[in-house]
Amino acid sequence: MTTATAIEGFRYYPGFLDAARQRALTESVMAVLTQAPAYHATMPKSGVAMSVAMSNAGRFGWYSDKEGGYRYIERHPFTGQPWPAIPDEILSIWDAVANYGVAPECCLINHYRAGAKMGLHQDRDEQDFDAPVVSISLGDTAVFRLGGLNRKDPTRAMKLQSGDVCVLGGASRLAFHGIDRVLSGSSRLIPGGGRINLTLRRVTRP
Ligand code: MD3
Ligand code: FE
């Protein structure tokens, strides 16, 4: 088998969260976004804004702008406040699936409104690649693309639905991946529509 389906360390839990847990989680995320409003990060050098709106909870938040590039910062770039704490019900998902002894330091909140997508990339701004990344999908269904360790490796597309959880550990931690598109209107979970993806990460080495 040469396709990315075989990549070691990728685990997929469809329907991990029932409808009630999805609603509770959405409320917690909305409370974080009230404290730490979502923004559009811009790409290093080009300064082009990403289509996905982002915010964070936890000690570190992922951010990018034209001058500073991709990085983790300890305060909201516009309010100057520390990021809100990661809500307990989100930490409990990490505890259930990550199989990693210490808590995540970042919960990146990606908000996809109509037309938003994310190009194929690797997540390598963290110091700790031994820790997995845990992904939680809420709201509209997304077409997720997972490749291999080289940009040109074969990829496979799969749908991520509201309540699905993925764990990207082992070799898959450095796999290329992206979101091709979001199926607008496929869920009514998120106020105003769209999709929210939460990624839980370690940033520093324990
Ligand atoms: C595979 N987010 O925030 S989640 C990202 O749905 C990101 O918003 C996408 O890629 C989203 O960086 C995909 C699934 C995911 C997350 C992290 C990964 C897949 C991954 C890290 C390594 C390999
Ligand atoms: Fe990513």
Which residue is it, tokens 């909870």? 57
Q: Indicate which ligand has the atom closest to the C-alpha of 168.
A: 1
Ligand 1 mutation pick, 70, 165, 179, 197, max ligand atoms within 8 A of CB: 197
DSSP state of 114: T
Q: Average pLDDT in the 166-182 region?
A: 98
Q: Helices marked H in the chain — which ranges?
A: 19-35, 88-97
**CA dist., res. 157 & res. 146, Å (int):** 6
**CA 50 to ligand 1 center in whole angstroms:** 15
**CA dist., res. 32 & res. 28, Å (int):** 6
Is 177 close to ligand 1, i.e. is its CB under 6 Å away?
Answer: yes
Q: What is the mean pLDDT of the chain?
A: 97
Q: Average pLDDT in the 129-134 region?
A: 98
- What does the pLDDT look like over 28-74, one tens digit per residue? 999 999 999 999 999 999 999 999 999 999 999 999 999 999 999 99
pTM of the predicted protein model: 0.97
Is 123 close to ligand 1, i.e. is its CB under 6 Å away?
Answer: yes
